[in-house]
Amino acid sequence: MRSSVILAIGVIAVTFSVGGCKKKIAVKAPDRVPVVEQSRATPTVTAPRTAERTPDVARTPAPAPGYPTDADLLNIKELLSRIQDAYFDYDKHMIRPDAEQALRENAQTLATIIKRYPDFKLAVEGHCDERGSDEYNLALGDARAQKAKEYLVSLGLPATQLNTVSFGKQKPVCTDSDEGCWQKNRRAHLEIATLGPGR
Q: Determine contact, residues 63/82, Cβ cutoff 8 Å.
A: no
Model pLDDT, residue 40 = 54
**Based on the number of CB atoms within 10 Å of its own CB, is 102 exposed (0-12), middle (13-18) or buried (19 or more)?**
buried
- Give the Cα-Cα-Cα angle 98, 74, 106 (nearest 5 degrees): 25
pLDDT for the residue 3: 53
Going from N- to C-terminal start, the domains of the chain cover 88-192
pLDDT, position 66: 81
The DSSP call for residue 129 is -
Residue 170: strand, helix, or coil: coil
* Three-class secondary structure of residue 50 per DSSP: coil
Distance CA 133, CA 183 (A): 17
- For the domain covering 88-192, report its CATH number: 3.30.1330.60
Q: How far apart are CA 132 and CA 110, in angstroms?
A: 34
Q: What is the mean pLDDT of each run of 10 residues along the chain (199 residues)?
A: 54 51 50 52 54 49 70 89 92 93 86 88 96 96 96 93 96 93 95 68
Query: DSSP letters along the chain, please?
Result: -HHHHHHHHHHHHHHHHHHHHSPPPPPPPPPPPPPPP-SSPPPPP-PPPPPPPPPP---PPPPPTTS--HHHHHHHHHHHHHSPPEE--TT--SPPHHHHHHHHTTHHHHHHHHTT-TT--EEEEEE--S-S-HHHHHHHHHHHHHHHHHHHHHTT--GGGEEEEEEETSS-S---SSHHHHHHHSEEEEEE----TT-
Question: What is the structure's pLDDT at 58?
Answer: 47
Residue 174 has a pLDDT of 93
